[in-house]
Amino acid sequence: MKHYQIVVIGGGTAGIMVAAQLKRSEKNLSIGLIEPSEKHYYQPAWTLVGAGTFDMEKTIRPEADYIPKGVDWIQDYAEQIDPDRQIVGTRKSGDYSYDYLVVAPGLVMDLDGLPGLRESLGKDGVCSNYTDPEYTFEVLKNFKGGNAVFTQPSTPIKCGGAPQKIMYLAEDYFRKNGIRDKTNVVFATPGTVIFGVKDFANTLNKIIQERDIIFKPFYSPVKIDPIKKVVHFKYNKSGINSCVGTEDKRILEEVIGETEIIMPYDMLHLAPPQKAPDFISNSKIVHQSGPSKGWVNVDISTLQHNEYPTIFSLGDVAALPTAKTGAAIRKQAPVVVENLLKLIKTNSLSSKKYEGYSSCPLVTGYGKMVLAEFKYDNVRDSDPILSKLMDTSKEQYSMWLLKKYGLPYLYWNQMLRGKM
């Protein structure tokens, strides 16, 4: 059995950043990185791909180009974690033992988590930027009017703002192409508000009103019927046992029983339900019950496992009360790295803490973006330098340029190289 000082599970943003920063700090560390994929994807640009303003090919690069020098790439699937024996089992390459483990495999799309999704996705107007953004743009180009419905599940999802970003872009696209007056743009979400941070919610609510977007809070999708081209929702407002108000005649929705709503669609974009990979959710390292069940049980400030001190976790798979974004990982990775290095040298943690920072570049149309930055408890946490130059809670062309050109450059050339 091969042994490493540090085993990293996952070669996405989190795993590569941690491995790269560790090697830049301490080049003699023995690190094995377990990642099966040959391709590395820059998924934040998929919103723009879905709107026809970014090339999908430019979001894909060879994984081999970003494995840090001196790190062993174990090109295989992790399938088992035994935290008591400090061993990771893989599909083909056998077992690997470790002194320290970094768990960052990301999450997976649960296409069976919503009845009808697997059968309907990718055809007849049912699309998702999470799985195939190029098809989303096909749907936009072929749309002739009717109900354009945008929704998301009640599970945690990566980039919680993504389902509404494509909605704003689609609305703008319909306007530019002369079919907006024949279109109902609907944003149906299990959430209670359009966005959790007040300053940014104020801007988004204004946009929704000005652009006549139909906002439906408390709507949890429960089934898609691709034959009838309808999506079923459960009205989930806490403490209320029935749908409030009457059926919305504009969009021909129908209320069935006490809490079920059926809405016809001509275009349906959704984020699929999402979950931790099975080898994670079936392991001892996750919360076994409660609201974080199935996600890795870490201290939300140090990112060290709450029961196994030689394990750290970050990125989408960690149970952290903040948005699952690449921007969050950018702040999490240095905390994991500093704590690991200090633990190796002194058997104690560093003073560095993660405060829950995440950001959501909310594209609100072609050439317009609001940069929502926040930390734990939905407290606004905007960059002090940027904030002096502009109000990032308002739509800005400069923020659109950052999203389209600046952030991809920083991702490939700085973040993945361990330089930030």
CATH code for position 34: 3.50.50.60
Q: Which of 273, 307, 333 is the last residue of a domain?
A: 273
Residue 199 lies in a domain: yes
Q: How far is the first Cα of the chain from the last one, in angstroms, to the nearest whole number?
A: 34
Write down the pTM of the prediction: 0.95
Helix or strand (DSSP H, E) at 361: strand 358-365
Residue 380 lies in a domain: no
Q: What is the pLDDT of residue 67?
A: 98
Q: Is residue 159 flagged as an active site residue?
A: yes
Candidates 93, 121, 73, 141; CA nearest to 269 is 121
The answer to whether 306 and 343 are in contact (CB under 8 A) is no
Q: Are residues 76 and 138 in the same domain?
A: no
The answer to whether 220 and 234 are in contact (CB under 8 A) is yes
Q: DSSP 3-state assignment of 127?
A: strand
Q: Tens digit of pLDDT per residue, the chain (420 long)?
A: 999 999 999 999 999 999 999 999 999 999 999 999 999 999 999 999 999 999 999 999 999 999 999 999 999 999 999 999 999 999 999 999 999 999 999 999 999 999 999 999 999 999 999 999 999 999 999 999 999 999 999 999 999 999 999 999 999 999 999 999 999 999 999 999 999 999 999 999 999 999 999 999 999 999 999 999 999 999 987 654 445 555 678 899 998 888 899 999 999 999 999 999 999 999 999 999 999 999 999 999 999 999 999 999 999 999 999 999 999 999 999 999 999 999 999 999 999 999 999 999 999 999 999 999 999 999 999 877 767 777 889 999 999 999 999 999 999 999 999 998
> In one letter, which amino acid is 370?
V
* Angstrom distances, CA of residue 307 to CA of 80, 239, 292: 18, 36, 15
- Alpha-carbon span 211 to 10, nearest angstrom: 41
User: 124: domain range?
Assistant: 112-273
- Alpha-carbon span 335 to 350, nearest angstrom: 8
Q: Are residues 151 and 71 in the same domain?
A: no
Q: Are residues 82 and 157 in the same domain?
A: no
- Alpha-carbon span 263 to 106, nearest angstrom: 32
Q: What is the pLDDT of residue 238?
A: 61
Candidates 89, 94, 106; CA nearest to 16 is 106
The answer to whether 170 and 366 are in contact (CB under 8 A) is no
Q: Count the domains in the chain.
A: 2
Catalytic residue of the set 360, 399, 402, 415: 360
Catalytic residue of the set 20, 159, 303, 372: 159
Q: Are residues 262 and 309 in the same domain?
A: no
Q: Is residue 360 flagged as an active site residue?
A: yes
